[in-house]
Amino acid sequence: MEIGKKGEKEIGEISHYYPGIEVAVVEVLDEIRVGEEIAVRGYTTDFTQTIDSMEIGHKKVDAARKGDSVGLKVKDRVREGDKVYWIPI
């Protein structure tokens, strides 16, 4: 697990992206919750956003744990292998 900028903690990795619906599939490495601020970074990706909603198996969830695979609506294009970081408030 990597530490990113300003004490950010790596919490996942993008495994797939659906451009038509702007949803990223994230393989979760640490707990993540709706309402938290995240950063998505990769070779050509670098943005932050608040998690507005998450789904596991097409069902809305408020939290995900290590080992879960979640769908997240993202505000910009992401790529497989991009890292997802939790941003401390």
22-56, pLDDT tens digit by residue?
999 999 999 999 999 999 999 999 999 999 999 99
Report, as an integer, the average pLDDT of 57-76: 96
Rounded mean pLDDT of the chain?
A: 93
Give the Cα separation of 35 and 17 in Å (integer).
Answer: 21
What fold, for 5-86?
Answer: Elongation Factor Tu (Ef-tu); domain 3 (2.40.30)
Q: For residue 5, what pLDDT is reported?
A: 64
Distance CA 32, CA 21 (A): 21
Model confidence at 82, pLDDT cuts 50, 70, 90, reads: very high
- Domain extents in the chain: 5-86
CA dihedral 49, 53, 55, 61 (to 10 degrees): 120
Say if residue 4's pLDDT is above 60.
no
pLDDT of residue 89: 76
